[in-house]
Structure 1
Amino acid sequence: MQAEQARIDRADALVLAFPIYWWSMPALLKGWVDRVFVNGWAIDYGPDTPVQKKLRHLHVHVLALGAADESAFDRHGYAKAMNTQIDYGIFDYCGARVLTSELLLDSESGTAQAHLHKARTVGQGLFEREAIAG
């Protein structure tokens, strides 16, 4: 996992793009996060010390793709739950700054062109937010 940590340390930003499985990230990605974002690298804490956030330099972009439409996510509070779990529970806890947190939803309806346009718009926005935050 040190190699993964070194890759993130060298990067300008971390972009996580993933399909939504059961209203969260896939288990394989969650396992990667659990093994990479560990005490000593992402945070420092001990029995008598408060948490020290060590990734304040890291900019994060989260892009989650889902089949359900926005109303399903809103109706059940899944969008807020994902935001709390991923943006705050993982990245903010480590001090990383989430610049983008997008749900690309309703992927099984509409036209391919509409989905491509949305993805392109979001992608261009990533670079604009990086430049502003830089």
Structure 2
Amino acid sequence: MSTLIITAHPDTESLTHQAATRLREALGHETTTVGHLAQEGFDPRFTLNDRHLYLGHGVSAADVVAEQDRLDHISDLVLVFPIYWWSMPALLKGWFDRVFIAGWAFDFDNTGRLVPKLGRLTVHVLATAGTAAGSFERHGYTQAFAAQVETGIFDFCGMRRGETAFVHDSESTDIESVTTTMHAAVSSIAAAVSPSSAHTEQPSTPGVQQ
């Protein structure tokens, strides 16, 4: 059993990166790897080559194959990212657009029926949000997130839903409160990934928010 943590944030001092680091420490370095899409230079642009591949022509680009390969060798995927404009960053969306393609993430049988292919994976989400939890509820974003991401991506590809944790008010000046909330989110994800080995996180002061 192994875990891949994927982040999508340009700032290595961000709360997003701090959460990913804490989560890896909680799960153990021996079985956990981290992929920082921004720092690795992953190209999220859906190019003409990707379009041709979608239509059944050509071969996957090397960077797409590399992402699929590391996903093929894990049991749990954890997505750690900030909420931008009520959604995931374009970098992470492009990762899904280019990597989770027909023939690998899903397929269709002779009758045109969907055949999900990623049932071996359990996916978890740790998202930082500058807005309050109440705002999410009032604007229907909690339900929208479930429909767009959990149903539209995870379920479509057959991935099992794991833990989803939001760190709300991530840009608050109350650093202690943000830290506590972040560590609670990390602990809930760690417990869901590895109940027997996860330990309680000890708070430390984060730097840049979100």
Same fold (TM over 0.5): yes
- 2:190 aligns with one of 121, 127, 131: 127
What are the residue-to-residue correspondences of 1:59-98 with 2, within 5 Å? 59-98=122-161
- Displacement of 1:113 in angstroms is 2.0
- Please give the per-residue CA displacement for 1:16-47, whole angstroms capped at 9, x wherever unaligned: 11111111001111011111111000101167
**Shift, 1:118, TM fit:** 1.7
TM-score by length of 2: 0.59
What is the count of residue pairs matched by the alignment? 132
TM-score, normalised to structure 1's length? Answer: 0.90
| Separation (CA, whole Å) in 2 of partners of 1:124 and 1:64 | 14
Which segment is superposed worse, 56-65 or 113-122?
113-122
Q: Unaligned 5+ residue runs, structure 2?
A: 1-63, 196-210
**Higher relative helix content:** 1
Q: Distance in 2 between matches of 1:88 and 1:110?
A: 34
Q: CA deviation at 1:69?
A: 0.9
RMSD after superposition: 1.5
What corresponds to 1:11 in structure 2? 74
Q: Is the 8 A contact 1:65 1:103 kept in 2?
A: yes
Distance 1:6 1:64 in 2: 25
CA separation in 2, counterparts of 1:124 and 1:69?
A: 20
Pairing 1:48–2:119 present? no
Detail structure 1 runs of 4+ shifted over 4 Å in the superposition: none
* 1:20 pairs with 2:83: yes
Structure 1 position 106 matched with structure 2 position 165: no
Which structure is larger by alpha-carbon Rg, 1 or 2?
A: 2
Q: Secondary structure at the match of 1:35?
A: helix
SS of aligned partner of 2:81: strand
Given that 1:62 and 1:98 are in contact with CA atoms closer than 8 Å, whether structure 2 keeps it comes out as no
For 1:29-48, list aligned pairs within 5 A.
29-45=92-108, 48=111
Instruction: Specify which structure has the higher proportion of strand.
Output: 1
Q: Deviations over 1:62-121 (max 9, x none)?
A: 111111111211111011101211111101111101211122111122522222222222
Give 3-state SS (helix, strand or coil) of 1:10's partner: coil
